[in-house]
A = this chain, B = another copy of it.
Amino acid sequence: MLAKHGVVISGLGRFTSHSPSSSTVLRRQQFLVRALCGSNSKIHRPKLIRAMSSTSEADAESVLRTVTPSLDPKRHKGQAGKIAVIGGCREYTGAPYFAAISALKIGADLSHVFCTKDAAPVIKSYSPELIVHPVLEESYSISHYSEESQREVQERVLGEVDKWMERFDCLVIGPGLGRDPFLLECVSKIMSLAKKSNVPFVVDGDGLFLVTNSIDLVKSYPLAVLTPNVNEYKRLVQKVLNCEVDEQNAEDQLRSLAKQIGGVTILRKGKSDLISNGETVKSVSIYGSPRRCGGQGDILSGSVAVFLSWAQQLKSGPESGSENPAMLGCIAASGLLRKAASLAFAKHKRSTLTSDIIECLGESLEEICPAS
């Protein structure tokens, strides 16, 4: 993944010749190295310790500033991120749209959706900015096929997704996926393809239903992120830890859960968002809104995908840095969504919709991390 972006950090400051704006990037990189490894800088240290210590509130705004790449006219299309959402079926079309458009609004260059044939024209009609592939199939459209023909359909679906896989910096698997068995089986295999190509993925919504029932799909894949809400988290805890959610020891339980799934990163959504990769636990409590309109989770999953892929670009080589891009991506996405939700709520109050929050993503990011 690193080579694809043309930005490689190794040791304490060397960049490849592709580094687009070395002084800016160097500054950000030094900032990140200090954030991850500790530093003697009197200016940054208190903030960074707060951001990165093992169980505290993350400094989400600092992480956002660290992870977000500088814009440079020398870069070309695709270098700021290519995201794909796997989701969207006959029943659900809004969720994959929200995830995919959020990725663009944050600054990704290209955003794809892989959905069923029925969902595609609708998702396309929401926005000409998305590239929508009508390739997934649900049982109802193939139930009269022979077993062999069904296998052929599955192979075709996988081929259609796999030919794009290497181009993506991150997938979002689950928004508006539905629970059709044939579709979910295909999606299981798409997860395997992503792992084979080392493409990170964020699992949300019906993707979490799939993963909770087949935990091996994500187990020990360090580039997997799960973003459960209250109920999805409850089912995960029951299934994996074989117990109930323990609010008194929420952080320890989350850490155990992530560890038990082999070090995947879990973002547990709530009044405060809690994030763990099985080692550290971070919370993000800034901003936020009391409005709970459906769809905010889709903004979050699309945002995690972008910030994770940006953090991957900054990621130091295997010899350095203990923090992983998935943690940074989750902290950044949580902070940004919470700020956008609070801005949207200030404007629209009870009538705030998910689209209003999406419209505030750019302004929120600009306030925290000005583009120039």
CB-nearest residue of chain B relative to A366?
B349
Q: Which of A180-213 contact B (CB under 8 A)?
A: none
A229, chain B: closest CB distance, angstroms = 7
- Asked if A315 is at the interface of the complex by the 8 Å CB criterion, the answer is no
- CB-based contact B74/A294 at 8 Å: no
Q: Which of A330-371 contact B (CB under 8 A)?
A: 345, 348-355, 361-363, 365-366, 370-371
Q: Which of A95-117 contact B (CB under 8 A)?
A: 97-98, 104-107, 109-110
- CB-based contact B350/A128 at 8 Å: no
Which stretch of A1-9, A118-126, A146-154, A258-266 is in the interface? A118-126
Task: Produce 1/0 per residue, A301-327, CB < 8 A to B.
Answer: 000000000000000000000000000
For chain A, the bracket of interface size reads 35 or more
CB-nearest residue of chain B relative to A295?
B129
CA distance A120 to B119 in the complex (A): 10
Q: Which of B129, B296, B365, B370 contacts A293 (CB 8 A)?
A: B129
Count identical subunits in the complex. Answer: 2
- Asked if A217 is at the interface of the complex by the 8 Å CB criterion, the answer is no
- Asked if A271 is at the interface of the complex by the 8 Å CB criterion, the answer is yes
- CB-based contact A292/B77 at 8 Å: yes
* A interface, over-half SS: loop
CB-nearest residue of chain B relative to A296?
B77
> What residues of chain B lie closer than 8 Å to A71, measured between beta carbons?
290-291, 350
> What residues of chain B lie closer than 8 Å to A15, measured between beta carbons?
none
A202, chain B: closest CB distance, angstroms = 18
CA distance A294 to B77 in the complex (A): 7
- CB-based contact B93/A129 at 8 Å: no
Contact residues of A with B, CB < 8 Å? 68, 71-80, 90-94, 97-98, 104-107, 109-110, 118, 120-122, 124-134, 229-230, 270-271, 288-297, 345, 348-355, 361-363, 365-366, 370-372
Q: Which of B128, B270, B351, B361 contacts A94 (CB 8 A)?
A: B128
Q: Which of B80, B128, B366 contacts A292 (CB 8 A)?
A: B80
> What residues of chain B lie closer than 8 Å to A361, measured between beta carbons?
351
- CB-based contact A129/B371 at 8 Å: no
A348, chain B: closest CB distance, angstroms = 6
- CB-based contact A355/B129 at 8 Å: yes
A343, chain B: closest CB distance, angstroms = 13
Q: Which of B122, B288, B351 contacts A121 (CB 8 A)?
A: B122
